[in-house]
Amino acid sequence: MPDLDYKGYLKLDELLKLQQPLADPPSHDESLFIIVHQVFELWFKLALHEIDKVFEMLDQDDVIESERLIRRLTSIVRLFVPKLSVLETMMPSDFIQFRDRLAEQVASIPGVQGVSLASSLYLAGSNILAVEGRTFSRDRAEYNVANDFVDDNFLQVMGIPLLHGRGFGSEDRRSTQPVALINQALAERYFPNEDPIGHEIKMGPPEGKNPWLTIIGIVGNVKTVTVFQEMGYVTPPAVYQPFAQNPPDSMSLFVRTHDDPNAAVDPLEQKLQALDADITLANVKTMKESLAELQSQPRFRTILLSAFAALALVLAALGIYGVLMHSVVRRTREIGVRMALGATRGSVLRMILKQALSTVVIGLASGLIAAVFLVRLAAGLLYDVRPDNPWILASVSAVLILVALCASYFPARRATRIDPLEALRSE
C-alpha cells in the first residue's frame, strides 16, 4: 500500500473539481449554491452510515455500542439540521424575488397592514465598530455595537421613526454601494458634533474583510435587554444593514395587523406553503407575547424584590409594635400616675404616638439622605422613571409613616386603657 498524505487520502484534487457552475451567463453565487448542497449531501451520507451501524449493533445485542453510536448520530444531526434554512437554498438574487413575492402574498391577507423581514426581533451582537479616518486601539475599542439585517419595510412595520436621512429602498441592492442605518445612540456616541450622513463605518476592525458601509440615515433608539443586565433595559448603539445587500442565514417575518394577530396565522401558513412547500412557520408569537417573554426575567426579579420589600415593611411594623408595647409595659406606673393626676386618654394616646413618630421621622430622614446618594445605583433597573423622582420619595415616605401609625395604634390604645389604681397597686 503506497504512503498516503492528507491530500491524497481525502482525494482533495478530485473533490475540489466537483464544483462546476453551469449558469449561462456565469453567476458568482452559483458556487455557493453548489457547495452548500454538496456539504448537506455529505452530512446526509454520514448520518445514514451511522444509522446502518446502529441497526447492526442492535442485531448483535450490543446495547452499549448502540447507545454510543446514537449519541454520535444525535451530535451529527444537531450540526447540520439547524443549517437547513430556506436562505441557504437560495442565491441572493433569488432571495430578493422570494421576498417580494412573500410580501405581496402576505399583504393580501385580510387585516394585514404591513409585512417585513429581519434577521432578529431583538437587537443583538457585541461588535467592534470601525469609522473611516479614525483609529481606536483594541484595548479601548467598544464591543457593544448591535447589528441587524432588515428589509425596506422594517421601520414602518415596527414603528421605528426615521430621524434624519433616508431609509432603505429599491436602489440598495447587492451590486450597489453597501449602506447602513444607525440609531440615535450610535450617532451621539461616535458623531457627537457632526452629521454622520455620508460617513463610512465597518462592522469589525478596520483591517477586517467586512465591507465599508455608507451611512444614509439615522433612526430612533430601540430598548432591549442584555444577558448581564436582565434587570434593566439598555439602548445599545446599533447598525441596520439592508437584507438585499447581504442576506443572513435565517430570517424572521413580521406582520402588522389591524385586528387580532392570531387570526392571520392560518392564512399566513397557507400563503407560505403556496410559495414554497419546504417553508414552515416556527415559533409564531404576537408582539405582546414576545415582549412578555423578553420581560420575564426582569418581571420575576421585580416580583421577588417587591416580596422582599413587603416582608421588610412587615418586619418594620412588627418591630415598631414590639418596641412600643414593651415601652408601654415598662411605663405602666408612669402612665397610671399621669392619669391619676388628670391626664386624659387622648393626651396619653398622643404621647405614645408622638414617641413612635419621632423615632420613625429620624429614621426616615436618614433613609432619604442615603437614598439621594445611593438611588442612582438603581437607575439601570428602572424604565422611564427618574430614580430621584420627588413624588416617588414622598409616596414611599407617606406609606412608611402610615404603617408606623398603624403599628403604633395598638400599643397606644392599650396605654389609654390602663387603670390608674391597678397601675399603682402593681408597684
* Sign of the alpha-carbon torsion through 355, 358, 359, 361: positive
Same domain, 112 and 257: yes
Q: What are phi and psi of 165, to 5 degrees?
A: 85, -150
Same domain, 66 and 120: no
Q: What is the pLDDT of residues 230-277, one digit of tens each?
A: 455 667 788 998 887 877 666 778 888 887 877 777 887 777 777 766
Last residue of a domain, one of 285, 316, 338: 285
Q: What is the pLDDT of residues 26-56, one digit of tens each?
A: 666 677 778 877 887 888 888 888 888 888 8
Same domain, 150 and 187: yes
pLDDT at 227 over 50: no
Q: Report the run of H or E that residue 314 belongs to, with start and end.
A: helix 296-330
Q: Which of 317, 324, 336, 341 is nearest to 416 (CA)?
A: 336
Q: How far is CA 32 from CA 81, 91, 179, in A?
A: 18, 8, 23
Same domain, 106 and 77: no
pLDDT at 373 over 90: no
In a domain, 2, yes or no: no
Same domain, 80 and 108: no
Same domain, 74 and 116: no
- What's at 319, amino acid-wise? G
- Asked if residue 364 lies in contact with residue 400, where contact means CB atoms within 8 angstroms, the answer is yes
Q: Which of 235, 87, 223 is nearest to 151 (CA)?
A: 87
In a domain, 336, yes or no: yes
In a domain, 422, yes or no: yes
- Calpha distance 288→294 (Å, rounded): 10
**Looking at residue 143, what is its pLDDT?**
57
pLDDT at 333 over 50: yes
Q: Report the run of H or E that residue 76 belongs to, with start and end.
A: helix 63-80
Q: How many structural domains are present in the chain?
A: 3
Model pTM score: 0.56
- Asked if residue 253 lies in contact with residue 162, where contact means CB atoms within 8 angstroms, the answer is no
Q: How far is CA 77 from CA 46, 53, 382, 422, in A?
A: 10, 15, 43, 87
- Asked if residue 371 lies in contact with residue 400, where contact means CB atoms within 8 angstroms, the answer is no
Same domain, 281 and 311: no
Q: What are phi and psi of 147, to 5 degrees?
A: -140, 140
Last residue of a domain, one of 228, 261, 285: 285
Q: Which of 377, 379, 374, 331 is nearest to 352 (CA)?
A: 331
Same domain, 311 and 354: yes
Banded pLDDT at 86 (limits 50, 70, 90)? very low
Instruction: Give the three cell numbers for residue 214.
Output: 455608507
Q: What are phi and psi of 81, to 5 degrees?
A: -65, -45
Last residue of a domain, one of 262, 285, 308: 285
In a domain, 351, yes or no: yes
Q: What is the CA radius of gyration of the chain?
A: 35
**14 is in which domain, residue-wise?**
8-84
In a domain, 3, yes or no: no
Highest-confidence segment of 141-145, 187-191, 319-323, 399-403:
187-191
